[in-house]
Structure 1
Amino acid sequence: MWKFDPWPVFFKRDWNRNSPFLVGFAIIGTLITELSLDLTDKEGKNSKFAQRHE
């Protein structure tokens, strides 16, 4: 018995509306990851944010 799969219909219909959000989320996530991986331990310990949250 064949079952209806709604996912292809959903993605085809809503891709134009959701694509800017998904692309922006991917770009911001990549930037945050790159910037946080560039920090050294010394820079992380000396940051005001880390000192406030210890």
Structure 2
Amino acid sequence: MRKFNAWLVFFKREWNWNWPFLVGFAITGILITKFSLCLTGIEDAKNSPFVQRHKK
């Protein structure tokens, strides 16, 4: 006879309650990662008006 596994019940109940938060967190993380990888420090610094004014 199989033992009752309370974790399955717990995770199913919690997933039904928390899935919008988890999906939103994942989408936000993907967007932040995508936009972060598009920026490069060296190229952005070369194109920055502040760096160009104070370049020596």
Whether the TM-score (by the shorter chain) exceeds 0.5 is yes
Structure 1 partner of 2:41: 41
Change (3 A) 1:39 1:5: same
Taking structure 1 as the reference length, the TM-score comes to 0.63
Runs of 4+ in 1 over 6 A off after TM superposition: none
Structure 1: state its 5+ residue gaps: 47-54
TM-score (norm 2): 0.61
Q: Deviations over 1:1-31 (max 9, x none)?
A: x876432121111211100000000000000
Distance change in 2, residues 1:6/1:36 (3 Å): same
Q: Which residue of 2 aligns with 1:10?
A: 10
The alignment's C-alpha RMSD in Å is 2.4
Go from structure 1 to structure 2 and tell me whether the alpha carbon gap of 1:33 and 1:44 turns closer, same or farther (over 3 Å shift). Answer: farther
> How many corresponding residue pairs?
45
